[in-house]
């Protein structure tokens, strides 16, 4: 049985648009996800985040649930248009009040808040001026970061600038399956660069306004592994790693883009201004990895013998251990967290007070075990956040994918702890992986 350090952070994560609801209440401005989800044809079943889990009104009950699970940390995001309806300029005090109350209630419950400044809900007013393709966003994001540092930095110690820049750049601006729904590769590459520069500018802004903060970023990583280890497969896997992961990691931890990827993009490569790379490579107090699955090169369709989640993602925890060890030998890493890890399964609730989700518990067990193994090999892991605290709006998939360790009945907003939440609670209490058969 793996024992974790006594100061290990045990958390759960959510994001504003996925749970808050109250999309136009108390002065909140429109976000690109409000606009996108209200556009016919974009989201499964025409769902939207107008109400979502109604967390805006139910956050105290949700904190009570966190307490029951025994979490010592909660990762959430701040909705930029809730606090700055136009993205810049006039502050919406009622929006700040919400995050004030949430923060105070978390601290009262002895739950450490981990705030993310940007989990995809850009103010629509800024999108109307070109969104992340517009370099002005760098200064505007830094100003937003400074505001939040000033207003909440006395109580929130851990801040992440961005959540998953890969998704923002490429699902939002290349494939178009996420807001703002654009399909332009050169734009997506410029966006990825603006995101990274904005991240560095926000790190400076946070530190300038709240010197005691721990500032970091959250990156989603999908390692590419091979089926037969042939030379050809290894080459493709390497190229995928460079293009998807090193594209963000090298600038952050080395101050340069991978030369092979820049060369491949040629004229589509982003415009980089003097000083940008140093701005991106600011030292970080911590960083988070969101890990769900791996890509496997050399197999068409499912990997024989592997299990898949409702998202169609392979369940394969050993790839997490291998990736953590590899990252640790490749870069000089700051303290590292898993800021998201979890699985969607077709959970059902029959009203008897229990949601039986053994496959999720197995998934969490295997991935936490991988984290523990990586720690034994010297990786400086400080904590783990399950995705997600509760079922929520899964972006283009609407409410059809349930990732929570807490079940949400959307018709009544009833919450029910799934069996996986009970297993996680026991693991947290023991600070060691609980047996699977509880
Ligand atoms: O729901 C998302 C989250 O917003 C970002 N990371 C991946 C999760 C599951 O797709």
DSSP string, 186-215: HHHHHHHHHHHHHHHHHHHHHHHH-TT-EE
Nearest to 199 by CA among 282, 271, 127, 269: 282
Distance of CA 421 to the CA centre of its chain: 20
- Looking at ligand 1, which residue's alpha carbon is closest to its atom 9? 394
pLDDT reported for residue 3? 84
Q: Report the atom number in ligand 1 closest to the C-alpha of 119.
A: 4
The whole-model pTM stands at: 0.98
Q: Where in the chain are the domains?
A: 9-430
Active site (annotated) includes residue 93: no
> What is the tens place of the pLDDT at every residue in 259-300?
999 999 999 999 999 999 999 999 999 999 999 999 999 999
Q: Report the atom number in ligand 1 closest to the C-alpha of 340.
A: 6
Q: How far apart are CA 72 and CA 10, in angstroms?
A: 6
Determine contact, residues 247/195, Cβ cutoff 8 Å. no
> What is the tens place of the pLDDT at every residue in 188-224?
999 999 999 999 999 999 999 999 999 999 999 999 9
Ligand 1 centroid vs 361 CA: distance in angstroms? 18
Residue of 30, 164, 233, 314 marked catalytic = 164
pLDDT reported for residue 437? 77
Whether ligand 1 lies within 6 angstroms of the CB of 357 is answered as no
Ligand 1 centroid vs 52 CA: distance in angstroms? 15
Q: Report the atom number in ligand 1 closest to the C-alpha of 395.
A: 1
Q: How far apart are CA 338 and CA 17, in angstroms?
A: 21
Q: How far apart are CA 273 and CA 205, in angstroms?
A: 20
pLDDT reported for residue 1? 54
Nearest to 287 by CA among 340, 220, 328, 335: 335
Ligand 1 centroid vs 394 CA: distance in angstroms? 7
Over residues 386-401, the mean pLDDT reads 99
Using the predicted structure, report yes or no on whether residue 373 has a pLDDT greater than 70: yes
Ligand 1 centroid vs 275 CA: distance in angstroms? 32
Whether ligand 1 lies within 6 angstroms of the CB of 121 is answered as no
Three-state DSSP class for 384?
A: strand
- Residue to mutate, 217, 290, 312, ligand 1, most ligand atoms under 8 Å from C-beta: 290
Whether ligand 1 lies within 6 angstroms of the CB of 343 is answered as no
> What is the tens place of the pLDDT at every residue in 305-357?
999 999 999 999 999 999 999 999 999 999 999 999 999 999 999 999 999 99
Percentage above 90 pLDDT, the chain? 99
pLDDT reported for residue 167? 99
Q: Report the atom number in ligand 1 closest to the C-alpha of 220.
A: 6
Whether ligand 1 lies within 6 angstroms of the CB of 290 is answered as yes
Ligand 1 centroid vs 121 CA: distance in angstroms? 13
Percentage above 70 pLDDT, the chain? 99
Residue of 225, 233, 321, 340 marked catalytic = 340
Ligand 1 centroid vs 343 CA: distance in angstroms? 10
Residue 7's alpha-carbon distances to 60, 110, 131, 416, 433, in angstroms, are 25, 14, 40, 28, 15
Ligand 1 centroid vs 260 CA: distance in angstroms? 29
CATH superfamily of the 9-430 domain = Glycosidases (3.20.20.80)
Over residues 53-58, the mean pLDDT reads 99
pLDDT reported for residue 159? 99
Mean per-residue pLDDT of the chain:
98
- Looking at ligand 1, which residue's alpha carbon is closest to its atom 4? 15
Active site (annotated) includes residue 164: yes
Whether ligand 1 lies within 6 angstroms of the CB of 164 is answered as yes
Whether ligand 1 lies within 6 angstroms of the CB of 225 is answered as no
Whether ligand 1 lies within 6 angstroms of the CB of 15 is answered as yes
């Amino acid at each position: 049985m793996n024992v974790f350090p006594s100061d290990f952070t045990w958390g759960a994560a959510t994001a504003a648009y996925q749970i808050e609801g109250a999309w136009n209440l108390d002065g909140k401005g429109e976000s690109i996800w409000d606009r996108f989800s209200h556009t016919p044809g974009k989201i499964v079943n025409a769902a939207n985040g107008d109400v979502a889990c109604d967390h805006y009104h139910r956050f105290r009950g949700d904190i009570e649930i966190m307490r029951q699970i025994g979490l010592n940390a909660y990762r959430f995001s701040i909705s930029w248009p809730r606090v700055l309806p136009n993205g810049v300029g006039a502050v919406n005090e009622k929006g700040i009040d919400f995050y004030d109350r949430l923060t105070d209630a978390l601290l009262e419950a002895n739950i450490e808040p981990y705030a993310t400044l940007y989990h995809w809900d850009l103010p629509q007013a800024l999108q109307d001026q070109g969104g992340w393709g517009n370099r002005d966003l760098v200064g505007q994001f830094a100003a937003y970061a400074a505001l939040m540092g000033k207003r909440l930095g006395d109580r929130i110690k851990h801040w992440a600038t961005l959540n998953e820049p890969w998704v923002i750049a490429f699902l939002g601006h290349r494939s178009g399956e996420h807001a703002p729904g654009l399909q332009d590769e050169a734009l997506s590459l410029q966006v990825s660069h603006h995101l990274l520069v904005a991240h560095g500018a926000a790190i400076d802004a946070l530190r300038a306004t709240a010197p005691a903060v721990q500032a970091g970023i959250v990156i989603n990583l999908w390692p590419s592994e091979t089926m037969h280890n042939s030379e050809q497969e290894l080459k493709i896997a390497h190229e995928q790693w460079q293009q998807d992961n090193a594209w963000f990691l090298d600038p952050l931890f080395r101050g340069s883009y991978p030369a092979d990827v820049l060369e491949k993009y040629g004229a589509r490569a982003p415009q980089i201004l003097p000083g940008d790379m140093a701005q991106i490579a600011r030292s970080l107090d911590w960083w988070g990895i969101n890990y769900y699955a791996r890509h496997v090169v050399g197999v068409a369709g499912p990997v024989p013998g592997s299990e898949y989640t409702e998202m169609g993602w392979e369940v394969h925890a050993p790839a997490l251990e291998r990736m953590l060890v590899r990252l640790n030998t490749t870069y000089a890493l700051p303290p590292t967290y898993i800021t998201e890890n979890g699985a969607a399964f077709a959970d059902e609730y029959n009203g008897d007070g229990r949601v039986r989700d053994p496959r999720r518990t197995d998934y969490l067990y295997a991935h936490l075990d991988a984290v523990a193994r990586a720690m034994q090999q010297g990786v400086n892991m400080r904590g783990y956040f399950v995705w997600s605290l509760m079922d929520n709006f899964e972006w283009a998939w609407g409410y059809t994918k349930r990732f929570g360790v807490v079940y949400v009945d959307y018709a009544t907003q009833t919450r029910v702890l799934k069996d996986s939440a009970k297993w996680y609670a026991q693991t947290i209490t023991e600070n060691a992986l609980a047996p699977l058969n509880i």
